[in-house]
Amino acid sequence: MTTICVDVMGADKEPEVLLEGVTRALEKDPDLCVLLAGSADVVEPYCASHERARALVTTEVIGMAEHPASAVRQKKDASIVRAAAAVRAGEADGLFSAGSTGAVLTAATFGVGRIKGVKRPALSLPFPGLGSHKTIFLDMGANADVKPEVMVQFAHMGRAFAEVALGVSDARVGLLCNGSEDTKGSEMALAYHEALANGSCGFAGNAEGTDVLGDRFDVIVCDGFTGNVCLKTIEGTGKFVLSRVKAAMKGSLGAKLGAALLAGPLKAMAGELSGAEYGGAILLGLRAPVVKGHGATSAEAVCAGTLSCAAYARANLCEKIAQACEIAG
Amino acid sequence: MTTICVDVMGADKEPEVLLEGVTRALEKDPDLCVLLAGSADVVEPYCASHERARALVTTEVIGMAEHPASAVRQKKDASIVRAAAAVRAGEADGLFSAGSTGAVLTAATFGVGRIKGVKRPALSLPFPGLGSHKTIFLDMGANADVKPEVMVQFAHMGRAFAEVALGVSDARVGLLCNGSEDTKGSEMALAYHEALANGSCGFAGNAEGTDVLGDRFDVIVCDGFTGNVCLKTIEGTGKFVLSRVKAAMKGSLGAKLGAALLAGPLKAMAGELSGAEYGGAILLGLRAPVVKGHGATSAEAVCAGTLSCAAYARANLCEKIAQACEIAG
């Protein structure tokens, strides 16, 4: 059995939405157990009526608007803090939370702890691409400033994740840059390029923004500043496209019909871009898989996030990352 | 009369495509003259049969694959080099080229020359946004590394461009960042934030990737590394969306019909995103407006680029930038 600790508080949605997601995950995966971190009135009745669910009763919650570091320090009984401690203590094999990104990052990094030798954990997600291609993208925003040697670790962690999540061995790694030529880059990007080229980490050259949803690389690495801008630009472009499709619907009857007929494919695409299949981004580099769902999550996303967290744990993702980082030194 | 020098060589397209665009621009704007830089066999017959067109006969061309700086230095009779020199000599009020970006940037910066006090020219384009909102975006890639005081100049130049291109006075300037809060940012972004906040340049706070095609800011500034990644990410997301719409067309008859009915709006949107209305990006900070069309340009884009270049010249864009940068010191 694999146990995943689910933080059922802290999301923008009611705990009931998270519990519904947990129910779906338990139904789909007979080898899954859950440890539910939340207030007694939420988790105790649920665990009394569901097998394979245990309660981790906590009395505090960290809200979306709180300062992550000070909230994690002060609220020692917050659901995310207790959940991370439970994973560290071996009571669960992984953690899913749809709470505030900063709080999850901070609580998980200090609570679950980093893999020995890993300098900085990084947020990662497999992005959809052209055809059926997928690209592991990191760092999505955990580290605004990244040193060249840390970027090499990102490449190793991304390759281990590509093996587990995509089944790709010997993944081609690209560095997100302002041009595909080796000579392109800011001073920092040129330093990353040099470190990656010497890093024995499958480096295949510079990637461009067009490659993030493309098919030229299996892993694309960048600092979390650039990664966040890229991620939010994809999100904004998606919104823009939908706004124009909606505007077209106010026009001719044909466009209205066209948009209605394409509603299904467009919705599926929005799901692909938001990582719905995986339920959220994973924080790579910690001693157990930690999946961070979107604050405005859904039962489907909670189910997907819990199941993918269990799959990462079973595939020994963290051991693979530890090996890759140990060999790299 | 306003004279725009058009470099009819150096694009990926045949000179005939560029000449067709010039013809359309001359037809639309009775106060426009053109100076056509190109080989004798291309420009002389055209000028013999068109009023308001003069030939600038050149014998060399800089190709897309050449190293920009060395090509500009060595090929003194290249169309883009001669075109820039003609603008500096006062023979034309602006320049349009669809040649290699690097060659146009280098030839224009050294040939046309920077406005006194401007430290670095920047590539800029008005991006479409939600509803009818537009956002001036810079730097799109001319400067991979940017100092904080240069970022403040970008804000001033962007505001002057917003006034001329969008009719927006007192534009709200955003700094592209990895979060909207003032505390977010890489070390460099925090330094930009501080300089902008003290720069009397309409700074309204941090923008996110979602704002680039949004409606919260009139101008968004960033270094050219981030700008290029952002621009190419928009392009890649657009391609990804179209690939999914095409894939959907292979599915149900309904989706096929839907895609066909939406082809018009989707094509219009692709045009909006590529800056078709403006014919290309403008290089801000030079003594005359220089518009850089896409290498794979079209007659429509050449027409639009030539007309917008003339409009910028008539609106005294460069004088406005000079004033803003002089006041800022």
**A229, closest residue in chain B (CA to CA):** B209
A223-282 pLDDT tens trace? 999 999 999 999 999 889 888 888 877 777 777 777 777 777 778 888 888 888 899 999
ipTM of the complex: 0.94
For the residues A117-127, what does the mean pLDDT come to? 95
| Closest Cβ opposite residue A185 in set B144, B213, B227 | B144
Between CA B61 and CA B56 the distance in angstroms is 13
Residues 6 or more apart whose CB falls under 8 angstroms from that of A35 comprise A3, A4, A5, A6, A53, A54, A55, A56, A83, A86, A91, A92
Lowest-confidence range among A186-200, A287-301, B26-40, B134-148? A287-301
List chain B residues with CB under 8 Å of A239. Answer: 130, 210, 213-214
Matching CATH topology for B1-118+285-315 and B119-276?
Answer: yes
Residues 6 or more apart whose CB falls under 8 angstroms from that of B76 comprise B60
Say yes or no for a CB contact (<8 Å) between A233 and B230: yes
Which neighbouring-strand residues pair with B95? B5, B290
Residues 6 or more apart whose CB falls under 8 angstroms from that of B130 comprise A239, A240, A243, B213, B214, B215
**B241, closest residue in chain A (CA to CA):** A269
Question: What's the fold here for domain B119-276?
Answer: Isopropylmalate Dehydrogenase (3.40.718)
**A146, closest residue in chain B (CA to CA):** B186
List chain B residues with CB under 8 Å of A137. Answer: none
Domain range list for chain B: 1-118+285-315, 119-276
A130 band by pLDDT with thresholds 50, 70 and 90: very high
pLDDT score recorded for residue A251: 73
Q: Is A2 strand, coil or helix?
A: strand
Q: Cα B278 vs. chain centroid, distance in angstroms?
A: 8
Amino acid at B271: G
Place domain A120-275 in its CATH homologous superfamily: Isopropylmalate Dehydrogenase (3.40.718.10)
Alpha helices in B274-329 (DSSP H): 299-314, 317-328
Phi-psi domain of A135 (left: phi exceeds 0; alpha: psi -120 through 50; beta: other): beta
DSSP A211: G
DSSP B78: B
Say yes or no for a CB contact (<8 Å) between B225 and A186: yes
Q: Is A11 strand, coil or helix?
A: coil
| Closest Cβ opposite residue A229 in set B213, B226, B244 | B226
Of B135, B119, B104, the residue nearest B231 (C-alpha):
B135
Q: Are A290 and A283 in contact (CB under 8 A)?
A: yes
pLDDT score recorded for residue A253: 78
Q: Is B181 strand, coil or helix?
A: coil
| Closest Cβ opposite residue B229 in set A130, A178, A245 | A178
List chain B residues with CB under 8 Å of A235. Answer: 209-210
Residues 6 or more apart whose CB falls under 8 angstroms from that of A144 comprise A223, A224, A225, B178, B184, B185, B186, B187, B189
Q: Are B100 and B70 in contact (CB under 8 A)?
A: no
Q: Are B307 and B22 in contact (CB under 8 A)?
A: no
The mean predicted confidence, pLDDT, of chain A is: 94
The CATH number for B1-118+285-315, chosen from 2.40.50.100, 3.40.50.970, 3.40.50.1100, 3.40.718.10, is 3.40.718.10
**A188, closest residue in chain B (CA to CA):** B145
Say yes or no for a CB contact (<8 Å) between A258 and B254: no
Give A187-196 contacts, CB < 8 A, sequence gap 24+. Answer: A187/B144, A187/B145, A188/A223, A189/B144, A189/B225, A191/A148, A192/A146, A192/A148, A192/A151, A192/A221, A194/A148, A195/A148, A195/A149, A195/A151, A195/A152, A196/A151, A196/A152, A196/A155, A196/A221
CA distance A218 to chain B (A): 16
Q: Are B77 and B56 in contact (CB under 8 A)?
A: no
Using the predicted structure, report yes or no on whether residue A329 has a pLDDT greater than 70: no
- Residue B66 CB neighbours (<10 A): 18
Six token digits for residue A125:
């997600």
Amino acid at B185: G
- Residue A35 CB neighbours (<10 A): 23
| Closest Cβ opposite residue A255 in set B229, B241, B261 | B261
Q: Are B140 and B124 in contact (CB under 8 A)?
A: yes
> Which residue ranges in chain B fall short of pLDDT 50?
none
pLDDT score recorded for residue A203: 98
Query: Cis before residue A139, ω within 30 degrees of 0?
Result: yes
List chain A residues with CB under 8 Å of B130. Answer: 239-240, 243
A-B CB pairs within 8 A amount to 198
Between CA B68 and CA B48 the distance in angstroms is 32
A69-83 pLDDT tens trace? 999 999 999 999 999
Of A125, A156, A124, the residue nearest A143 (C-alpha):
A124
Six token digits for residue A85:
């401690």
A5-34 pLDDT tens trace? 999 998 888 999 999 999 999 999 999 999
pLDDT score recorded for residue B320: 96
